[in-house]
């Protein structure tokens, strides 16, 4: 298989859980483009800030390794799908998650059978890359838009639900290793995985974009993405920082007692959160 992997996706390193993950890289389920119109229309009507950056998708392993490791990753991931039947799923339900300061509206399967098929698939992919137990429980969902609170997301759901039509599609040729270049880049597929039979992967170099994706990022999409990022890291509206309560003496002493390792870990967590906000996943 190595000879079939284009040079940009080869790495001399063995894939293992210690390899750093990045939020510009993912393994995701992207439905066939013929079922996109309803999803894209809803995302546009709901002013989804990820409309240009992300195709309609379900993240399965996110964040993921850099493209240089895709060759090794694809071999493991394809093998994990070998014993699975190709799921055919129906996105016929809408749901929300979030809280007072964040809300997400998404499409999902009402069928327990479809949901469990997606969960088995994700578990197999996760286990193949030696990451068993490192990620949270997987809830299959296709994000339609982000909101400033769950209440707002629920209101949008109530408006959209009467017109939402079930989307049924096969997951064959729908699992992709994707990445984007730079802060304003668009996710494109570097590799497509197949189910059943002999483990197979199809690579694209350069990566291949979807014809139904916007060719340019409209100004409102860019502004929505940047404003959401500013609100996220600023802690207040419009990017303005809200005033924090004065720390207690015990809190100040605890901060002063932090070891260099603890400080480095806190900084890494903050950097990861900023990256997720920028990627539109928070």
- Per-residue pLDDT tens digits for 177-195: 999 998 889 999 999 999 8
Q: What is the pLDDT of residues 45-80, one digit of tens each?
A: 999 999 999 999 999 999 999 999 999 999 999 999
| Chain segment 82-133, per-residue pLDDT in tens | 989 999 999 999 999 998 888 999 999 999 999 999 999 999 999 998 765 5
Quote the number of domains for the chain.
1
pLDDT at 231 over 80: no
- At 259, which CATH number? 3.90.1140.10
* pLDDT at res. 101: 86
271 vs 109, residue with greater confidence: 109
**Predicted pLDDT at 267:** 74
Q: In what order do the strands lie in the sheet with 188-193?
A: 58-61, 25-29, 175-179, 188-193, 201-208
pLDDT for residue 87:
94
Band of the pLDDT at 1, cuts 50, 70, 90? Answer: very low
User: What pLDDT shows up at residue 239?
Assistant: 39
pLDDT of residue 236: 38
Predicted local confidence at residue 203, as pLDDT:
95
Mean pLDDT of the region 231-237: 45
| Phi, psi (degrees; rounded to nearest 5) at 48 | -70, 125
Which residues are bridge partners to 201 per DSSP? Answer: 193
- Which CA distances in Å does 169 have to 91, 145, 205? 9, 21, 27
pLDDT above 80 for 36: yes
Burial of 31 (0-12, 13-18, 19+ CB in 10 A): buried
DSSP 68: G
Report, as an integer, the average pLDDT of 203-224. Answer: 93
Where residue 135 falls among pLDDT bands split at 50, 70, 90?
low
Domain extent for 9: 2-279
Give the pLDDT of residue 233.
43
pLDDT range class, residue 34, cuts 50, 70, 90: very high
């Amino acid at each position: 298989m190595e000879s079939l992997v284009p040079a940009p996706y080869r790495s001399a390193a063995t894939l293992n859980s210690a390899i750093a993950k990045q939020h510009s890289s993912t393994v995701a389920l992207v439905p066939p483009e013929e079922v996109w119109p309803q999803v894209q229309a809803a995302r546009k009507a709901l002013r989804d800030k990820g409309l240009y950056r992300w195709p309609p998708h379900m993240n399965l392993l996110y964040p993921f390794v850099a493209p240089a490791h895709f060759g090794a990753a694809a071999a493991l991931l394809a093998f994990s799908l070998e014993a699975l039947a190709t799921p055919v799923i129906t996105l016929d339900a809408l749901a929300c998650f979030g809280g007072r300061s964040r809300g997400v509206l998404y499409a999902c399967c009402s069928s327990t059978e479809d949901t469990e098929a997606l969960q088995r698939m994700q578990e197999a992919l996760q286990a193949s890359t030696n990451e068993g137990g490192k990620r949270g429980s997987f809830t299959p969902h296709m994000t339609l838009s982000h909101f400033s609170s769950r209440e707002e997301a629920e209101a949008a759901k109530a408006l959209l639900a009467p017109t939402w039509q079930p989307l049924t599609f096969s997951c064959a040729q729908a699992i992709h290793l994707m990445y984007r270049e730079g802060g304003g880049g668009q996710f494109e597929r570097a590799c497509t995985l197949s189910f059943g039979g002999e483990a197979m992967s199809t690579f694209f170099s350069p990566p291949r974009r979807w014809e139904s994706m916007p060719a340019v990022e409209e100004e409102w999409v860019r502004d929505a993405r940047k404003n959401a990022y500013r609100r996220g890291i600023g802690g207040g509206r419009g990017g303005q920082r809200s005033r924090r309560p004065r720390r207690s003496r015990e809190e100040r002493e605890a901060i002063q007692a932090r070891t260099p390792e603890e400080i480095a870990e806190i900084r890494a967590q903050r950097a990861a959160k900023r990256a997720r906000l920028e990627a539109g996943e928070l």
